[in-house]
Chain A
Amino acid sequence: MTQDNLHLFEVFIRSKRGLDHKHVGSLHAEDPAQALEYARDVYTRRSEGVSIWVVNSSDIHASQEDDSESFYDPMDDKPYRHATHYVLPDAVNNM
């Protein structure tokens, strides 16, 4: 079988109600309905999920690893965003 005309889908599975969908992998399919069935067969054979999302891979826009320095740099020098930055007396330190 040729995959020439098949679309690439990314697959996300929710393993349990209440949890986020997590990326598990990708697959080729003709359309979303088929992708869902394939995903069920490939990724949930042992009841790994209660809900599946499939997304056209081409619809995913990703940040670039190369840019990561300028992209995330500004976060590194802000220790005051963390609770541990604040030193409080022992009696109230469970705050």
Chain B
Amino acid sequence: MSDSKAMTEAELIERFQSRIDDEQKIEPKDWMPEGYRKNLIRQISQHAHSEVIGMQPEGNWITRAPTLRRKAILLAKVQDEGGHGLYLYSAAETLGVSREELIAALQSGEAKYASIFNYPTLTWADIGAIGWLVDGAAIVNQVSLQRTSYGPYARGMVRICKEESFHQRQGYEIMLALSRGNEAQRAMAQDSINRFWWPSLMMFGPHDAESAHSGQSMKWKIKRQSNDELRQKFVDQTVKQVEVLDMTLPDPDLKWNEGRGHYDFGEIDWEEFKRSMSGGGPCSRQRVAHHVKAHEEGAWVREALRAYQKKQKSQADKAAA
């Protein structure tokens, strides 16, 4: 506590970095460079926004799920994602930013969220593809982030990863059922894979060489593995899963590379990535507009809560007097 006041900035930075190099976590009350704090707020809030906006494409199918069981499962999954948003917003708040500021940044478009959620969910198979591929990609990233250097973020990730385990499996189970169905059902599943494969690969972000924050993030151990490493891991694990479905991935360049011990794969359409990231995705406007609408329509609940609290307090005061 008091010793940090006596230290010079250079000494503080040195102690901070040596903690990180030493695999120790940074905790909220520790001194940290302003850049570290800013970088974390950006990444954690972007992650939180993704969890919350991600509820929309899936929520779209809750009322139309084919069976009661599927409906209950989807409801439970979307509920989990809302909880994940909360864990992450709380972690960001330990860095001195308020919930109001974070939400305002999302609604003004200043803050980003994963571009994958700007794609529409056109068929029931999309719910399968999202659970399997999108949550699958998110899990690869989140497993790595369990070792991030900021304590509250790392602990949030551990909690989230535990809950994620069923998301991917329920998605794959949907795909499995469709893959064993009739021709139309198989075609529907293949079409979902075709539409969600490339956006799933985009979830890992730009190539390492082009990633603006990557170098510093790795040095601070906010990120533990690079975008390209994580993307490769996801591709490698998914190929087997597609084979079990007896379906294909929409990439003619995908093939096993004996020398590397990994699958080679084609180039992502980075123009589409940029377009979708900067608000030009098929549903970008709709997603943010819906968030604003839900927030505004919830105003009366917040008001009612405040009124109730006020009433409770005045009654307690009267009783005490």
Chain A interface residues (CB < 8 Å from chain B): 14, 17-18, 20, 51, 78, 80-83, 85-89, 91-92, 95
Contacts and interface: CB of A to CB of B under 8 A. Distances in A.
Given A18-B24, A18-B25, A80-B69, A91 B240 contact: yes
Interface residues of B, number: 27
A95 B72 contact: no
A71 B252 CA distance: 53
Interface of B: 19, 24-27, 29, 69, 72-73, 76, 80, 136, 151, 154-155, 165-166, 168-170, 172-173, 176, 240-241, 243-244
Contact of B72 (A20, A80, A83, A92): A80
Contact of B173 (A17, A51, A88): A88
Contacts of A83: 165-166, 169
23 contacts: A14-B27, A17-B151, A18-B25, A20-B155, A51-B27, A78-B72, A80-B76, A81-B76, A81-B80, A83-B165, A85-B166, A86-B169, A86-B170, A87-B173, A88-B172, A89-B176, A89-B244, A91-B240, A91-B243, A92-B241, A95-B168, A95-B169, A95-B241
Give the residue among A14, A86, A89 with the most B Cβ atoms within 10 A: A86
A18 B22 CA distance: 13
B84 to A, nearest CB: 14
Contacts of A78: 72, 76
